[in-house]
Structure 1
């Protein structure tokens, strides 16, 4: 993808980054880890108030990464590309498969404002009362939610991680779930409990924050590039189509056929690539997917 000219202002210039000194904190004690994680969460909070970040796309991309991590927990071989295919190429009535189900759950967890209804849509098997608010500081609430979920179903890491990130987002007053623990916790980490799990959750937040902040900056630049080429897109519904690209991890041209013909949708996506405003994500000649 072509870059903005060096003379152009950087759309991500005022977005926060995770400083090197914060990455280097030892985090050996719960107090140290809590300090580091709290600083990282403050930076992530800032990103969510900046208009230049395409927040829906940011959350969707992080959800895809969390889905791949959760698939690893289950010992599945599928990675991001395979889960993306399952989500974007699935037809009505199709079964997404086990890894696709994981991806669908994370996607549903992040795409709507956080609520009991959102969690029930993401995790239809949730029992009444699961996901309710717990006492304590934000990461303490998150670790308690994970521990409670694993006590109910020790092998259901997906539910535990979604509920952990939901508890964290609610405690912080965020409108949407952000998959931080889903990204930062490993299968081995979830074998801990009590104070050990809380310490691991603090470390996981710091681990996930750096890449999440970098992704926000990258997407802000790419979104600005995409918006800049809209006048060159001679398609009647180009503005609405661009909004769809900015809201999803990836799109298939078929997703645009409600706005334009099938042929026009394919040409629109290829034109975005020609202008350096989007990428073709699969490397395939057929069943192609596009995104920032």
Structure 2
């Protein structure tokens, strides 16, 4: 794989920024919060359409954030670093544990274009017919539709927080015309919000989407800059298979050297070189069993 030289005519600071009035306004009524969430989602929609944004990497990083929120909802203590370990250091035949399963569910939900089959990979315990029924439970505008799906799933399966939130985000993505699920609701909701119903739940979902859309736009801008730098330094990498390795970093939240398409020693040297060039970061702070990401 070869990489074109970076186009210096592209100014990544020109990615549209979320208007200040969206982030600073206080919404006291359902009408106000609905207006602000609509504005935030519209802005995110524009950012997601920009070629500079590494879409798969953004979705994977948002999936980690959603998984962390869901694990916290269940009362567990694992955080992002623990979830990365549970997924990326998993050996053949090992079980990821409850927190790892949650992280895998979200990662699988965002990997492929949105469909019942793709959701089935993320939620294998659900029958396709049940998934389709729940996904179609919402009606109306996008956020209302998502809130209705969330409410129906949690009413019929009170312990299925992860499935409910994944399906609610899927309903939102469908309503907005997005090809892939973008994890937004889980990170913005509070645990108590999952017990709300009707207008109270819609209000909570609108509020959650404002904060999550703002954060997603910020992450998109950061990742666009970092991805551009990684592509710029890629021609300096001499290792065979370096191009495929760079592509992995551009699509995944975290990568273990052992997952790269290089011999072990060469993979570790490549990771060290990318850290030296400021193109990736070491994410664990450990001397062994390290993980790297943009």
Q: What does residue 210 of structure 1 align with?
A: 214
Aligned-CA RMSD value? 1.3
Match of 2:203 among 199, 220, 223: 199
Unmatched runs of 5 consecutive residues or more in structure 1: 1-7
* C-alpha distance in 2 between matches for 1:155 and 1:213: 31
1:1-292 to 2 correspondences below 5 Å: 11-127=11-127, 128-130=129-131, 131-133=134-136, 134-256=138-260, 259-292=261-294
Displacement of 1:276 in angstroms is 0.7
Aligned to 1:86, what secondary structure does the other structure show?
A: helix
Provide the C-alpha distance between the structure 1 equivalents of 2:166 and 2:39, rounded to a whole number of angstroms. Answer: 22
Q: Distance in 2 between matches of 1:87 and 1:153?
A: 26
The residue number in structure 1 matching 2:4 is none
Residue aligned with 2:14, SS: coil
**d(CA) in 1 for partners of 2:282 and 2:63?**
20
Question: Shift in Å at residue 11 of structure 1?
Answer: 4.4
Q: Which whole-Å CA distance do the structure 1 matches of 2:209 and 2:98 have between them? A: 26
Moved over 6 A (4+): none
**Aligned-residue offset at 1:12:** 2.4
Q: Could you tell me how far 1:195 is from its partner in structure 2?
A: 0.9
Change in CA separation of 1:11 and 1:96 when aligned onto 2, cut-off 3 Å: farther
Instruction: Tell me the distance in 2 between the aligned counterparts of 1:28 and 1:12.
Output: 35
Counterpart CA distance in 1 for 2:16 and 2:209 is 16
CA apart distance, 1:110: 0.7
Per the TM alignment, residue 207 of structure 1 is displaced from its structure 2 partner at its CA by 1.2
Residue-by-residue CA offset, 1:64-108 (whole Å, 9 max, x unaligned): 011011100000000000001111111222100111011000000
SS in 2 for 1:229: helix
Distance 1:69 1:186 in 2: 9
Deviation at 1:178, TM superposition (A): 0.7
Deviations 1:120-165 (CA, angstroms, capped at 9, x unpaired): 1101122323343332110011000000110111122111111110
Q: 1:17–1:210: 8 Å Cα contact kept in structure 2?
A: no
The worse-fitting range, judged by mean Cα deviation, of 168-177 and 15-24 is: 15-24
SS of the counterpart of 2:15?
coil
Task: Give deviations 1:11-60, integer Å, cap 9, x for gaps.
Answer: 42222222221112222111111110011111111111111111100010
- Separation in 1, partners of 2:9, 2:95: 45
Aligned 8 A contact 2:135 2:170 in 1:
no
Report the number of matched residues: 283
Contact 1:114/1:175 (8 A) holds in 2: yes
- Structure whose residues are more often helix by fraction: 2
Q: Is the partner of 1:129 in helix, strand or coil?
A: helix
